[in-house]
A and B are shown apart, each in its own frame.
Chain A
């Protein structure tokens, strides 16, 4: 990869991290606001609830799509950690292609569903649900691209180093 692309990628990754952290911070602050309003000022408010739920949803989808690496995800790695790098590469190719196939086949239906949700709005802030849910479409696309990338790396013999060394040395 040319150095400029590499540093641009790192810059973008750091901004994605900023955004993810900001989502959790927003959720936290909004919760505190909600508690203060309800119990200290006796003024129950509903919009805080909506914002925190949206942050939760976006944190999971955005985070999985752009920030959390596969090695940081919760997975079943007894077999994965025990096999030779070549077998591991084959495993990555098989799983990534399966995901790409299934996510691609279902993508039109997913987009249909998201578009259909334009008819509904949230209760307090009147945000259209297709806007809120569009992150799922982004997530599905990002997963397809990411898994294709992983597959590509595995085919060309790279990427298997991504494995978490703590678990590899666990002696399973």
Chain B
């Protein structure tokens, strides 16, 4: 493989600056400027790529709007109502609250596109409910919230899938559909695991909510339960684009919190908006940095070069996918997910394409991988968040996460080898895709 000195140095500088603690987006811009400088090219190209890339990729606007939607949901009492409803439904079983945690994550996943928002949103309340009266150990509660939050961006809507759609130029609508069944399978596996552990460890049962109260509680939770349906109908009924659906999600959350539950205070709303805007700026910077660096990667022909090398090895698609899974899982232990998605995944896409792997299948597998990266030690964002929320040591949380993590890796293997788990639903909605 021949890479130019300029590219090698640029890559080296990015790695170095990242290690030194400079924000990833800025590191990539610096590396790209160095590349342009050494190549004697106009250094204004970095600015041009940044500005035009950000200006012309309309679908990215879904990212800030989904972040805003999640923040608004978290600031209102939406998640509280949802938790009560889930408790009424599955609390009566052994390990009931643990099952509640999974169930609420499924519904929440259908409204929000970010695992971190899911964990931060219902995490605190779930942690309190599970650990008061010493029902569950703090580390088990925290581990469970971290693990269930992983489903968030796999079941649509999903911020990582928006980013993947951007780099792979695939349909967001079909990607979203592709995540539904894998997300539900993962949730199902978690529920089985909990049920088994609950018997072994004799987890507590919640006081059963009388069935008579169920209709009323369902009625009260209905506006929340309705939200995933509104979103999906908007996107697949051809009413809104996925980007607009993100705005609808935020508006819906706002209206439900304000009108139905009367739980929106102006100060809180401002804080939600500001926090979302700050998150947007930091994710946006990373996206922009990746856009600039991807320009360099493209003119150096890196994805094609890697593709040519990999193809010359005569890899089978399955073997390639296994290698990709291993690479992404290892990178997920140390790198932040967005960086992997925006920098590493694009390099692999041409090879996947050349091997005849369906890009929606590839995307969902990559996103599941990256989400698992959020709970793999040592660097797992969800582990950090739950350490902060629960106050229990990270080591203990990791210990309780591991059985779930292994099971989720098992699920990932299933999605990798059986593309139908991902593609069945999109095909039902008319996705042609690659036929093997």
- A64 contacts which chain B residues (CB < 8 A)? 25, 281-282, 284-285
Q: Are B48 and A113 in contact (CB under 8 A)?
A: yes
A67 to B44, CA, bound (A): 25
Contact of B251 among A32, A62, A106 (CB under 8 A): A32
- B383 contacts which chain A residues (CB < 8 A)? 170
Contact of B387 among A59, A73, A166 (CB under 8 A): A166
A34 to B285, CA, bound (A): 26
A62 to B277, CA, bound (A): 11
- A110 contacts which chain B residues (CB < 8 A)? 43-44, 46-47
Task: Give the shortest distance, in Å, between B52 (CB) and chain A (any CB).
Answer: 9
SS of A interface (majority): helix
A76 to B343, CA, bound (A): 14
Number of residue pairs spanning A and B whose beta carbons lie under 8 angstroms apart: 204
A77 to B385, CA, bound (A): 15
SS of B interface (majority): helix
Number of interface residues of A (CB under 8 A): 65
* A119 at interface by CB-CB < 8 Å: no
A27 to B251, CA, bound (A): 12
Kindly state the interface size class of chain B when it binds its partner. 35 or more
0 or 1 for each of B234-276: is its CB under 8 Å from A? (1 = yes): 0000011001100110110000000000000000001001101
* B400 at interface by CB-CB < 8 Å: no
* B339 at interface by CB-CB < 8 Å: yes
Contact of A59 among B17, B46, B248, B277 (CB under 8 A): B277
* A161 at interface by CB-CB < 8 Å: no
Contact of A170 among B33, B60, B394 (CB under 8 A): B394
A167 to B383, CA, bound (A): 10
Contact of A102 among B20, B25, B34, B334 (CB under 8 A): B34
Q: Are B30 and A99 in contact (CB under 8 A)?
A: yes
A sample of 13 more A-B contacts (CB under 8 A), given A20-B274, A32-B251, is: A21-B277, A39-B239, A60-B281, A60-B287, A72-B278, A75-B336, A78-B378, A95-B22, A98-B17, A99-B17, A102-B33, A109-B47, A143-B26
List of 10 A-B pairs having minimum Cβ-Cβ separation, nearest first:
A63-B281, A60-B284, A113-B44, A73-B23, A31-B247, A80-B21, A106-B43, A109-B44, A95-B20, A109-B43
Chain B interface residues (CB < 8 Å from chain A): 13, 17-26, 30, 33-34, 36-37, 42-48, 50-51, 54-55, 58, 60-61, 64-65, 68, 239-240, 243-244, 247-248, 250-251, 270, 273-274, 276-278, 280-288, 334-336, 338-339, 378-379, 383-385, 387-388, 393-395
12 contacts between A and B (CB under 8 A): A21-B273, A21-B274, A23-B277, A54-B55, A59-B281, A59-B284, A76-B336, A99-B17, A102-B30, A105-B43, A170-B384, A170-B387
Chain A interface residues (CB < 8 Å from chain B): 17, 20-21, 23-25, 27-28, 31-32, 34-35, 39, 49, 52-54, 56-57, 59-60, 62-64, 67-68, 70, 72-80, 88, 91-92, 94-96, 98-99, 102-103, 105-106, 109-110, 112-114, 116, 132-133, 136, 140, 143, 166-167, 169-172
